[in-house]
Amino acid sequence: MSKNVLGYSSTTARSCLLGLIFSALAGLTLVASAQECITVAAPNGLTAEWPQQLELAELEAQTGSSLTFSDNPLFAQAVAAGQLPPVDERLPAEPLVVIPYESCGVYGGSLRGTSRAPESGTSEFLSWRQVNLVRMSDDLRTIVPNVAKSWTWNDDLSAITFVLREGHKWSDGSPFTADDVVFYIDDLVKNQELHGTVPAPWLVAGEPVVVEKVDDLTFTFRFAAPNPGLLHYFATGGSYFAPYAPAEHYKPYHISYNQNADQEARDAGFDGWTQRFGQIWDKWKDAEVLTAHALTRPTLESHVLEIEADTQRRVFVANPYYFKVDTRGQQLPYVDRHIERFLDPELNILAILNGEVHQKAQGVRLADYPLLKENEAAGGYAMRLPPGSVGSHIAFNITHRDPVLRQIYGDVRFRQAMSLAIDRDELNETLYFGLGTPKQALPPKSPFTTDADRNYMIDFDVDRANALLDEMGMARGSDGRRVRPDGRPMQILWEYSSQFASPELVQLVSDYWRDVGISVQSREITSALTREKAWNNENDINMEWDAPYEPNLISQINYYIPPYTDIGPLFGVPWLNWINSGGSEGEKPPPWAARMFELAEEWRSIQPGTERYLEIGRELVQINLENMTIIGLVSNLPGPTVVADSLRNVTEWQVQHFNYGRTYPVRPDQWYFGN
């Protein structure tokens, strides 16, 4: 079957559903009477192709009766006054049926949350509301329909055709069609004035994507080469960048559709149409809700902006045209409003203690867990500790500008010694309450890593570390410090930003290294500076704190080969330049690094889960480990999260990761307030 080409056979997909939804009653045709609430907890014999959700037709076929829709009383007045059509006309002809985790909810209430700033990495409210063509299901492997009803790949995975839901409407009631996708690709992504170059996911093998509209509900993306990672991109890392935009809304501001757009923008005080457009449209969905313009811009999300952000808060209200219903036919979302306040970290903690925050994960530090846990009852919330990030990891700059340092950091024995000198258990106990796992920093949850990989050279072995350093010829001087090849005492200049390490972590690691004769001078600097230095190849040590999860790695393999990230490289920028320029710039990478570039190129075109896919994954892991490119410290760091006691249908979180906009699986559109 075509939907499931992702390397996981339908049986795999089905079997994981088994535990979640299936009951022994699978044989029954009529599983439940109409309007009865079927839940994940009590499926009543309902079977579904995808976990926790199904299409209306599927549900009606199994229950034998058609679903009657109902909606939030919030809209009743507007409906009665004729300002809003009744719910049957607002929903798509084929709404997506969500099977609630615990129970069908009751409407009402305001969900209170916090964020550090209107647009930053600490706002759940922004990641929650995201909808894209597809989403990642709770097993973190299966990709399931969302805005799109279905999709079909061509044979070599270079073209994909999506089918939308009939009658799907934007939040202002205007129809959502394939035109909105074509507009996004042709007039936004490929517009030279808005984007100098076509952004990464849409540029495959150097060629931009081609979008074709088949009919109002059907469109095809064509790429110059196989692009199997596209769905993973939509479902995870790219979930902020839905590939559609309300065309009719944006056309008056766009030069291709309005010749006067530029003059109008200038009259309104902008430098030109692109500047104005940049303010009302952004590929970042969170940037779009910064301004009052978002009050009029239609969206497909569960909540639409009601009060724009001032410097203190912003309010979202339920979208009357949202395309999902529960198994009883109630339109989602249940919660009337999302109210988000902007608070600094310490105030955020106080607000949580005071019971003013219904859910919070981003920006809650592990160190605050004891305080928050102690005050659970008083604040009316419960703490959860879902597994979190890979944890801070360290990379020595193998391509350091300074020739002596390059010689030292380029020596794999040095990097191995540094890994062996670290007491990870003490690190774990001292900094993370012993909740983490000492490990090398590998992509989490991947089928091609073994325990041996994860534990490679993580034992605390000072003797072996010393032996390796001695073997390099770095003898100890009179003050106990080891001497560099040029006779000067060895000292690492460790400049870190608080984004990747705390001063405590740096002190502990520096202490361990000092014990094997390598002294460290540390200094906290801004992340802008660390990046600048990283690009100039001046940093001794660069750091990262997370890596993509395995099924998503395919769309983000750049994170696992030099220079590891584009914006804050770990090392190997000259190698990348050499590859990109075809050998005319930069430096020729060593064979092992060259092999990584090769493997990554091949990986991008291979179906996840296939034998070759696993082989490449294994080899990449091996190369990274053998060369000790990255020194992992303590992984699986749980991130404390807060959930109000009154909140229902909040499923257990299995992971916290930037790929998923933080805690996942998360379905806030089915959250509601119980007693």
Partner 1 sequence: MNVLRFLGFRLLSMVGTLLAVSVVAFVIIQLPPGDFADAYVAQKNQTGAAFTQAELLNLRHNLGLDRPWYVQYLSWISGIFLRLDFGFSWEWQRPVSELIADRLPLTLALAFSTLLFMYGIALPIGIYSAVRQYSIADHSFSLIGYIGLATPNFLLALIMMYFGQQWFGQSVGGLFSPHFEGQPFTWAKFIDLLAHLWVPVVVLGTAGTAFLVRSMRAVLLDELDKMYVVAARAGGIHPLRLLIKYPVRLALIPIVATLGWRLTYVISGAPIVGVVMGLPDTGPLFLKSLLNQDMQLAGALVFIFCALTVIGTFVSDILLALLDPRIQLSG
Partner 2 sequence: MKAAASARFLTQPRGRVRRTDSATQWQLIWWRFKRHRIALTGLVVLGMLTCLGLFAGFFAPYASGTRNAQYLSGPPTVVRWSDRESGLQLRPFIYGRDLTRDPVTLRMIPTVDRSEKWPIYFFVRGQEYKFWGLLRTNIHLFGTESETIHLFGTDSIGRDIFSRTLYATRVSLSVGAVGVLVAFVLGSIIGGIAGLYGGVVDSAIMRLIEFIRSIPTLPLWMALSAAVPRDWTPLQTYLAITVILALIGWTWLARTVRSKLLSVRHEDFVLAARLSGCSDARIIGRHLLPSFMSYLIVDMTIAFPEILLAETALSFLGLGLREPVESWGVLLYAAQNVRSIAHMPWLLIPGIFVIIAVLAFSFVGDGLRDAADPYAKETSK
User: Which listed option, partner 1, partner 2, none, makes contact with residue 240 (CB within 5 to 8 Å by class)?
Assistant: partner 1
Helix (H, G, I), strand (E, B) or coil at 553: helix
Closest approach, Cβ 104 to partner 1, in A, equals: 28
Nearer to partner 1, 94 or 356 (CB): 356
Task: Please pick, from the candidates 493, 598, 610, 626, the single residue that binds partner 2 as defined by CB under 8 A.
Answer: 493
Phi, psi of 665 (to 5 degrees): -75, 140
C-alpha to C-alpha distance for 407 and 102, rounded to whole angstroms: 60
User: Which listed option, partner 1, partner 2, none, makes contact with residue 536 (CB within 5 to 8 Å by class)?
Assistant: none
**Which run of H or E residues covers position 261?**
helix 261-267
Nearer to partner 2, 35 or 510 (CB): 510
Assign 3-class secondary structure to 206-254. Answer: CEECEEEEEECCEEEEECCCCCCCHHHHHHCCCCCCCCCCCHHHHHHHC
Nearer to partner 2, 457 or 520 (CB): 520
Task: Please pick, from the candidates 431, 441, 606, 620, the single residue that binds partner 2 as defined by CB under 8 A.
Answer: 431
Nearer to partner 1, 393 or 482 (CB): 393
Nearer to partner 1, 87 or 554 (CB): 554
C-alpha to C-alpha distance for 308 and 313, rounded to whole angstroms: 8
Task: Please pick, from the candidates 58, 88, 308, 429, the single residue that binds partner 2 as defined by CB under 8 A.
Answer: 429
User: Which listed option, partner 1, partner 2, none, makes contact with residue 657 (CB within 5 to 8 Å by class)?
Assistant: partner 1
Nearer to partner 1, 415 or 533 (CB): 533
User: Which listed option, partner 1, partner 2, none, makes contact with residue 519 (CB within 5 to 8 Å by class)?
Assistant: none
Q: Under rule CB under 8 A, which residues in 358-377 are in contact with partner 2?
A: 367-371, 373-374
User: Which listed option, partner 1, partner 2, none, makes contact with residue 36 (CB within 5 to 8 Å by class)?
Assistant: none
Closest approach, Cβ 126 to partner 1, in A, equals: 9
User: Which listed option, partner 2, partner 1, none, makes contact with residue 659 (CB within 5 to 8 Å by class)?
Assistant: partner 1
Helix (H, G, I), strand (E, B) or coil at 434: coil
For 479, other C-beta atoms within 10 Å of its C-beta total: 8
Nearer to partner 1, 130 or 171 (CB): 130
DSSP 158: S
User: Which listed option, partner 1, partner 2, none, makes contact with residue 523 (CB within 5 to 8 Å by class)?
Assistant: partner 2
C-alpha to C-alpha distance for 342 and 348, rounded to whole angstroms: 9
Applying CB under 8 A, does 495 fall inside the site for partner 2?
A: yes
Q: Under rule CB under 8 A, which residues in 513-532 are in contact with partner 2?
A: 521-526, 529
C-alpha to C-alpha distance for 174 and 166, rounded to whole angstroms: 13
Cis check: omega of the bond before 563, within 30 degrees of 0 = yes
Determine the interface stretch with partner 2 among 356-364, 429-437, 598-606, 657-665 (rule: CB under 8 A): 429-437
For 263, other C-beta atoms within 10 Å of its C-beta total: 12
Closest approach, Cβ 637 to partner 2, in A, equals: 13
Closest to 292 in 3D by CA, of 278, 301, 303, 305: 305
User: Which listed option, partner 1, partner 2, none, makes contact with residue 192 (CB within 5 to 8 Å by class)?
Assistant: none
What CA–CA distances, in Å, run from 277 to 259, 263, 305?
14, 13, 19
CA 432 to chain centroid = 23
C-alpha to C-alpha distance for 228 and 295, rounded to whole angstroms: 36
Nearer to partner 1, 314 or 400 (CB): 314
Closest approach, Cβ 339 to partner 2, in A, equals: 22
Can you state the percent helix, strand and coil of the chain, rounding each to 5? Answer: 35, 20, 50
Nearer to partner 2, 431 or 621 (CB): 431
Mark residues 66-95: x for contact with partner 2 by CB under 8 A, - for none: ------------------------------
User: Which listed option, partner 1, partner 2, none, makes contact with residue 504 (CB within 5 to 8 Å by class)?
Assistant: partner 2
User: Which listed option, partner 1, partner 2, none, makes contact with residue 102 (CB within 5 to 8 Å by class)?
Assistant: none
User: Which listed option, partner 1, partner 2, none, makes contact with residue 645 (CB within 5 to 8 Å by class)?
Assistant: none
User: Which residues are at the interface with partner 1 (CB under 8 A)?
Assistant: 112, 117-122, 195-197, 199-200, 237, 240, 269, 271, 274-275, 278-279, 284, 287, 290-291, 307, 309-313, 315, 339, 341, 343-344, 346-348, 350-351, 353-354, 356, 497, 499, 526-529, 531-532, 535, 546, 556, 558, 565-568, 657-659, 661
User: Which listed option, partner 2, partner 1, none, makes contact with residue 287 (CB within 5 to 8 Å by class)?
Assistant: partner 1
Mark residues 338-357: x for contact with partner 2 by CB under 8 A, - for none: -------xx--xx--x----
Closest approach, Cβ 433 to partner 2, in A, equals: 5
Task: Please pick, from the candidates 503, 585, 588, 598, the single residue that binds partner 2 as defined by CB under 8 A.
Answer: 503
Question: Which segments within 116-237 are labelled E, that is strand?
Answer: 134-136, 143-145, 148-153, 159-164, 203-204, 207-208, 210-215, 218-222
Burial of 328 (0-12, 13-18, 19+ CB in 10 A): buried
Number of H helices and E strands in the chain, helices first, is 25, 29
User: Which listed option, partner 1, partner 2, none, makes contact with residue 168 (CB within 5 to 8 Å by class)?
Assistant: none
Nearer to partner 2, 520 or 628 (CB): 520
User: Which listed option, partner 2, partner 1, none, makes contact with residue 371 (CB within 5 to 8 Å by class)?
Assistant: partner 2
CA 146 to chain centroid = 17
Cis check: omega of the bond before 199, within 30 degrees of 0 = no
User: Which listed option, partner 2, partner 1, none, makes contact with residue 382 (CB within 5 to 8 Å by class)?
Assistant: none
Closest approach, Cβ 102 to partner 2, in A, equals: 25
User: Which listed option, partner 2, partner 1, none, makes contact with residue 367 (CB within 5 to 8 Å by class)?
Assistant: partner 2
Nearer to partner 2, 383 or 395 (CB): 383
Q: What is the CA radius of gyration of the chain?
A: 27
Residue 18 CB partners (closer than 8 Å, separation 6+): none
Q: Which residues pair with 169 in a beta bridge?
A: 175
Closest approach, Cβ 351 to partner 1, in A, equals: 6
Closest to 136 in 3D by CA, of 327, 314, 8, 279: 8
Nearer to partner 1, 150 or 497 (CB): 497
Burial code (b: 16+ CB inside 10 Å, e: under 16) for 16-50 equals: bbeebbbeeeeeeeebbeeeebbbbeebbbbbbbb
Determine the interface stretch with partner 2 among 110-118, 261-269, 426-434, 643-651 (rule: CB under 8 A): 426-434
For 437, other C-beta atoms within 10 Å of its C-beta total: 17
What CA–CA distances, in Å, run from 95 to 68, 216, 324, 329, 531?
12, 17, 5, 10, 46
Applying CB under 8 A, does 511 fall inside the site for partner 2?
A: yes
Closest approach, Cβ 564 to partner 1, in A, equals: 12
Residue 226 CB partners (closer than 8 Å, separation 6+): 156, 157, 158, 604, 605, 606
End-to-end CA, the chain: 44
Burial code (b: 16+ CB inside 10 Å, e: under 16) for 61-100 equals: ebbeeebebbbbeebeeebeeeebbebeebbbebbbbbbb
C-alpha to C-alpha distance for 49 and 10, rounded to whole angstroms: 9
Interacting residues with partner 2 (CB under 8 A): 345-346, 349-350, 353, 367-371, 373-374, 426, 429-431, 433-435, 493, 495, 503-504, 506-508, 511, 521-526, 529
